[in-house]
A and B are shown apart, each in its own frame.
Chain A
Amino acid sequence: MKLPIAAVGRSIPRLEAHAKVTGHAAYVHNLSVPGMLIAKVFRSTVAHGRIRSIDVTAARAMLGVFAVYTGEDIRKVIAEPYYGPAFHDQPILALDKVRYAGEPVAVVLAVDTHVAEAAAQLISAEYDELPAVFNEVEAMTSTAVVHEVLKPAGTFADLKHLKNKSGTNIALDFHLRRGDVDKAFATADHVFEHNFRTQQVLHLPLEPFATVAIPEGDRKSGTLTLHSSTQSPSFVRIEIARLLGWPENKVRVKVPYLGGGFGAKVYIKSEALAAACAMLARRPVKFATTMEEQFYMITKHATTLRIKSGVTRDGKITARECEVWWNGGAYADIGPRVTQKSGFTAAGPYEIDNVKIDSYALYTNLPAAGALRGFGIPQLVWAYESHTEMIARELKIDPLAIRRTNLLREGRPQATGTLMRDAALGQVLERLATRMQWDKPLDRGTETLRRGRGIAIGFKASISPTTSMAIVNINADGSCHLYSSTVDMGQGSDTAMAQMVSEVIGVPVQKITVVHPDTDVTPYDMATLGSRSTYHMGHAVKNAAEDARDKLFAMARELGLSAETTPIPDVFKKKYGMQAGNIVGVGSFIPPYTSPDANGQTTDATPFWMIGATGAEVEVDIETGEFKVTRLVNLVDVGKAINPAIVETQISGATIMQLGFTLTEQMNFDAGHVTNASLADYKIPGIRDIPPLMENEAVDANQKSGPFGAKGVGESGTFGVSPAIANAIDDAVGVRLTSLPLTAEAVYRGLRNKAGNPLRND
């Protein structure tokens, strides 16, 4: 019965493609159930203030309004209505004070969206304004304190020491010490120090946040079902159960396809408010944000980075010191994890004997920041690959050569002390050099249109340790079901997981149904985030499929049949006398992990390393500073590709997303208020912004510890984009930009500064 199908490694078309392009795919955003109320939020108009009063009388009196709730109402169903993965710091609706402009203060429930919206506009609130802090470096010492007392959730050991701390905005400080940087700086031929900044941006999935919460039974013995656009159904179930004081089995979370996630929909977002409203109203409640409201939900950290290196005269880096300040906004979300995990690799993919890293998660009075496609890595690569390039230029060393000199080799210890294993850094760099034809001179353009090129390479430790479980069910006709809580948000996980089941059991993917997350049905999975699914869920799925196959083989042998050659239906028929029964295989996976010590040292920082590099060619108009990225070459190490075509689109998708964060995207603020909360004013790249030449390649690699040699894919394409473009601009016109986004005006000002004729402001 085992046919060598070789499903893994083939570019099988996505299983959901037809349903999506024909408009049949279901999304929570389109879901409607009988008796459903629509929730619309009234938001804070101040960045930091004590709530003096909230007036909801006019809203309540409006025809068609079912109810209006404030934070105090929520307490009737949830005594301690604070949620969050790292800290229990975020109130479902503001209590006592507001911490950012745009924070939910009250909610209207109505049968009609327009009525709910109009009623929300009738709510007013008065605040005693408090001094606010917006900048992450200022937040270190600011007398404006966002949270009076820190409330770590207790799930992360390294946050425990922050419990009940007061008078601080530091939500995590991560420190890594290796060797002796001060001594190494003292003896280095050269010491370089630079500062960098990244701006606050956001995810903007095409489908905004949406949850439909349906209560059944009464408050004491009932249940709650949540249909939600979430990347982490298992976490939502646990967190809602915790808030309600219920066992996990009373909360059910179902997830169809997502219209994008990118880290926005991880942990718990729209679910807490929808659940609380449904419990209060005893009616189904839908809380779906508009595109514009996404600007007040979750964002990507703005950062300030300081990086200092000691270097020998031939370009060997002997010491590196990094300080990173992460602007976490008003609520921690998963920011402290970003601070720690990315802290592991802040010094870059180089073998450096002396490393000192200090990474701080800061509370500020801005919309909260969390995980966005790269978990902090793109911010760090921006700094260390700009810095590395600046050193190379200063020492007149070729940018490729300085990277070759310092790159971490297989088996060598990285800054945490963990040895590099199955990390194709050298291969990625060399393939990039080949594709860029780095050894050949570049056409430098004309007098006014100058051309340049740049490269950058980054790496990432996967978030760890995390658990995945899977169930594979073989039906009597040989078709299969895969039960997994991995969310297909567009990355193609359904297809990849089905390919793995197909490969193990020998059934074509068309005969495999991937059952979408439903916590009453599909087993636990930590979340779909951090490029972890292919590796972690992949292992669980492979284990479950192997378990099912082994049971099938055992059953065949028991019946005196050849396990290898008997068709699956014949085995079932012989066993049960007809087309009946099934075989259930289970699988689970958690990788080995050792927590870092007080110096950030560990023998086991990550189950796998993700690697991404980008080469850019640019054309700069020296009369205006305008520039075009004419070519982007993206190289990644994803181990063995389960589905090469999907891998390719994941690389290009990640690259284009980071291109937006590099060139066009920026949340603008005025006294903490977002001033461009719309797609008309916040510019994501359009088709005409994409470089005419874009090449994406996954190098021929193998993650020996991975399922079928595979590892994570989704984020690697983001790593090198920003510094590669900045390095190319420098190469073209000798202007160094240290702050994102890279704008034409910044280039123009750089050109004027270089000419000794700075552009004066009014």
Chain B
Amino acid sequence: MAPFELAEPHTLSEAIALLNAGDVPVRAIAGGTALMLMMKAGVFQPARLVSLRRVEACHAEITVMPDGGLSIGAMATLSSLARSAAVKQAAPVITQTLKTLSNVRVRNVATIGGHLAHGDPHMDLPPVLTALGAQVRTLSPVGERTRAVADLYTGYYETVLADNELISEVIVPPQSGSLAAYLKITTRAADDWPTLGIAVSLQMEADIVKAARIVVSAATNTPLRLEVAEQTLLGTTLDAVTLLRCGDAAVSSVELAADAHGSAAYKRELLRVYTQRALRQALAVQL
């Protein structure tokens, strides 16, 4: 690992100013769990790292908003999310997801902002937050913006975020009356990057599906909503025939990539089965 400059600004706006460094490789570093691996492997050699660990404490706060939604400061660690009663109440699927997200050492330092900004399609929360309709607030020298998590990703490790744009906050809208589930499928060791991630969220009225989101990740370049599959659910009671049809629709509406976790053909079969299982699991959640 080559030497580099480490800046530790005390405010988010200072941090953003420090990211403007012309052509030299500069990155913001929060928990650093992903960035350090890239640096160790020599994939990324920064001239300067801008550490966010000393920015205002408010950026790590997790609060329930008056409408019942969640506001999560970008610097909140994944552990603090996992332990948060507010998160568990407002969006239990997030709490559930964190149980098998990496390991406790990573969760203790990794932040939600870094997790979302990294752009690795194997991350667990981007599909979950996409399914929940979450948004992020970002800050850059040109000002504040609000973006849907669903719109953050443009490709493999590619996001819409500018080099000097930082996520400051994640907003999860109120989930009242909705059911959600996330299934992480690993095919090698239990603690591994997912072969496939599937997040679902359902709006039910009586027993009828009014709205649905199905998001696939890990086997695709970015988290992807499977709208054709979502359509098959609307107006149904999620009976067995509907689930089968939905699984088939999911498979036919997306192209999955082969890698060391499995062939594309096998991942399609996993998608077919696990789409149904995720929906069943969401339905089993007690409101």
Min CB gap B24→A, angstroms: 16
Cβ of A9 < 8 Å from any Cβ of B? no
- Asked whether, in the complex, the Cβ of A762 is within 8 Å of the Cβ of B265, the reply is yes
Min CB gap A260→B, angstroms: 19
Cβ of A756 < 8 Å from any Cβ of B? no
**Residues 191-247 of B contacting A (Cβ, < 8 Å):** 191-193
Q: Which residues of chain B are within 8 angstroms of A762 by Cβ–Cβ distance? A: 258, 263-265
- Asked whether, in the complex, the Cβ of A759 is within 8 Å of the Cβ of B265, the reply is yes
- Asked whether, in the complex, the Cβ of A748 is within 8 Å of the Cβ of B260, the reply is no
- Asked whether, in the complex, the Cβ of A760 is within 8 Å of the Cβ of B269, the reply is no
Q: Which residues of chain A are within 8 angstroms of B274 by Cβ–Cβ distance? A: 624
- Asked whether, in the complex, the Cβ of A683 is within 8 Å of the Cβ of B265, the reply is no
Cβ of A21 < 8 Å from any Cβ of B? no
Contact with B1, one of A117, A292, A689, A759 (Cβ below 8 angstroms): A117
- Asked whether, in the complex, the Cβ of B263 is within 8 Å of the Cβ of A745, the reply is yes
A683-B189 contact, Cβ under 8 Å, with A114-B3, A623-B273, A759-B269: yes
**Residues 245-287 of B contacting A (Cβ, < 8 Å):** 258, 260, 262-266, 269-270, 273-274
Q: Which of A353-361, A373-381, A466-474, A674-682 contacts B (4 or more CB under 8 A)?
A: A674-682
Chain B binding site: helix, strand, loop or mixed by DSSP? loop
Q: Mark A613-633, 1 if CB is under 8 A from B, else 0.
A: 000000000011010000000
Q: Which residues of chain B are within 8 angstroms of A195 by Cβ–Cβ distance? A: none
Min CB gap A58→B, angstroms: 14
A-B contact pairs, 6 of them (CB 8 A): A114-B2, A624-B270, A688-B190, A743-B187, A744-B187, A762-B264
Cβ of A221 < 8 Å from any Cβ of B? no
Contact with A683, one of B41, B192, B264 (Cβ below 8 angstroms): B192
- Asked whether, in the complex, the Cβ of A683 is within 8 Å of the Cβ of B270, the reply is no
A688-B273 contact, Cβ under 8 Å, with A114-B1, A676-B260, A761-B265: no
What's the interface size class on A, roughly? 20 to 34
Min CB gap A669→B, angstroms: 11
What's the interface size class on B, roughly? 20 to 34
Q: Which residues of B contact A (CB under 8 A)?
A: 1-3, 37, 41-42, 187-193, 258, 260, 262-266, 269-270, 273-274
Q: Mark A252-270, 1 if CB is under 8 A from B, else 0.
A: 0000000000000000000
Q: Give 4 closest A-B pairs by Cβ, nearest first.
A: A688-B190, A683-B189, A686-B191, A683-B188
- Asked whether, in the complex, the Cβ of A760 is within 8 Å of the Cβ of B265, the reply is yes
Q: Which residue of B lies closest to A621 (CB)?
A: B273
Q: Which residues of chain B are within 8 angstroms of A624 by Cβ–Cβ distance? A: 269-270, 273-274
- Asked whether, in the complex, the Cβ of B42 is within 8 Å of the Cβ of A121, the reply is yes
Q: Which residues of chain B are within 8 angstroms of A117 by Cβ–Cβ distance? A: 1-2
Count how many pairs of residues, one from A and one from B, have CB atoms less than 8 Å apart in the complex. 62
A688-B191 contact, Cβ under 8 Å, with A624-B273, A678-B41: yes
A680-B266 contact, Cβ under 8 Å, with A121-B42, A624-B273, A745-B187: no
Min CB gap B265→A, angstroms: 5
Q: Which residue of A lies closest to B186 (CB)?
A: A683
Q: Which residues of chain A are within 8 angstroms of B258 by Cβ–Cβ distance? A: 762
Min CB gap A183→B, angstroms: 45
Q: Which residues of A contact B (CB under 8 A)?
A: 114, 117-118, 121, 292, 623-624, 626, 663-664, 668, 675-676, 678, 680-681, 683-686, 688-689, 743-745, 748-749, 759-762
Q: Which residue of B lies closest to A113 (CB)?
A: B1
* Known interface pairs A684-B189, A743-B188; 17 further A-B residue pairs with C-beta atoms within 8 A, sorted by A's residue number: A114-B1, A117-B2, A680-B37, A683-B188, A683-B189, A685-B189, A686-B189, A686-B190, A689-B190, A689-B191, A743-B262, A745-B187, A745-B263, A745-B266, A748-B266, A749-B266, A762-B258
Min CB gap A313→B, angstroms: 40
Q: Which residue of A lies closest to B37 (CB)?
A: A680
Min CB gap B45→A, angstroms: 9
Contact with A761, one of B1, B187, B191, B263 (Cβ below 8 angstroms): B263
Q: Which residues of chain A are within 8 angstroms of B273 by Cβ–Cβ distance? A: 623-624
A623-B191 Cα distance, complex, nearest whole Å = 22
A668-B264 contact, Cβ under 8 Å, with A114-B2, A624-B270, A745-B187: no
Q: Which residues of chain B are within 8 angstroms of A683 by Cβ–Cβ distance? A: 188-189, 192
Q: Which residues of chain A are within 8 angstroms of B191 by Cβ–Cβ distance? A: 686, 688-689
A675-B260 contact, Cβ under 8 Å, with A114-B1, A683-B188, A683-B189: yes
Q: Which residues of chain B are within 8 angstroms of A121 by Cβ–Cβ distance? A: 42
Q: Which residues of chain B are within 8 angstroms of A688 by Cβ–Cβ distance? A: 189-191
Min CB gap A413→B, angstroms: 43
Min CB gap A115→B, angstroms: 9
A748-B2 contact, Cβ under 8 Å, with A664-B189, A689-B190, A761-B263: no
A118-B2 contact, Cβ under 8 Å, with A624-B273, A664-B188: yes
A114-B39 Cα distance, complex, nearest whole Å = 12
Q: Which residues of chain A are within 8 angstroms of B192 by Cβ–Cβ distance? A: 683
Q: Which residues of chain B are within 8 angstroms of A686 by Cβ–Cβ distance? A: 189-191
Give the one of B1, B189, B273 with max A CB within 10 A.
Answer: B189
Q: Which residue of A lies closest to B273 (CB)?
A: A623
Q: Which residues of chain B are within 8 angstroms of A748 by Cβ–Cβ distance? A: 266, 269
Q: Which residue of A lies closest to B264 (CB)?
A: A762
Give the one of A117, A675, A748 with max B CB within 10 A.
Answer: A748
Q: Which residues of chain A are within 8 angstroms of B190 by Cβ–Cβ distance? A: 686, 688-689
Min CB gap A25→B, angstroms: 22
A114-B3 Cα distance, complex, nearest whole Å = 8
Contact with B260, one of A668, A685, A689 (Cβ below 8 angstroms): A668
Q: Which residues of chain B are within 8 angstroms of A749 by Cβ–Cβ distance? A: 266
Q: Which residues of chain A are within 8 angstroms of B42 by Cβ–Cβ distance? A: 121
Q: Which residue of B lies closest to A623 (CB)?
A: B273
Q: Which residue of A lies closest to B187 (CB)?
A: A744
A683-B189 Cα distance, complex, nearest whole Å = 6
Min CB gap B217→A, angstroms: 18
Q: Which residues of chain B are within 8 angstroms of A743 by Cβ–Cβ distance? A: 187-188, 262
Min CB gap B186→A, angstroms: 9
Min CB gap B236→A, angstroms: 21
Min CB gap B121→A, angstroms: 15
Contact with A759, one of B189, B193, B260, B266 (Cβ below 8 angstroms): B266
Q: Which residues of chain B are within 8 angstroms of A689 by Cβ–Cβ distance? A: 189-191
Q: Which residues of chain B are within 8 angstroms of A675 by Cβ–Cβ distance? A: 260
Q: Which residues of chain A are within 8 angstroms of B37 by Cβ–Cβ distance? A: 680
Q: Which residues of chain A are within 8 angstroms of B264 by Cβ–Cβ distance? A: 761-762
Give the one of B191, B262, B266 with max A CB within 10 A.
Answer: B266
Min CB gap B280→A, angstroms: 12
Q: Which residues of chain B are within 8 angstroms of A759 by Cβ–Cβ distance? A: 265-266, 269
A451-B187 Cα distance, complex, nearest whole Å = 19
Min CB gap B228→A, angstroms: 20
A686-B187 Cα distance, complex, nearest whole Å = 13
Q: Which residue of A lies closest to B277 (CB)?
A: A623
Min CB gap B90→A, angstroms: 28
Min CB gap B198→A, angstroms: 13
Q: Which residues of chain A are within 8 angstroms of B269 by Cβ–Cβ distance? A: 624, 748, 759
Q: Which residues of chain B are within 8 angstroms of A114 by Cβ–Cβ distance? A: 1-3
Q: Which residues of chain A are within 8 angstroms of B265 by Cβ–Cβ distance? A: 759-762
Q: Which residues of chain B are within 8 angstroms of A676 by Cβ–Cβ distance? A: 260
Min CB gap A676→B, angstroms: 6
Q: Which residues of chain A are within 8 angstroms of B193 by Cβ–Cβ distance? A: 680
Min CB gap B109→A, angstroms: 17
A114-B189 Cα distance, complex, nearest whole Å = 33
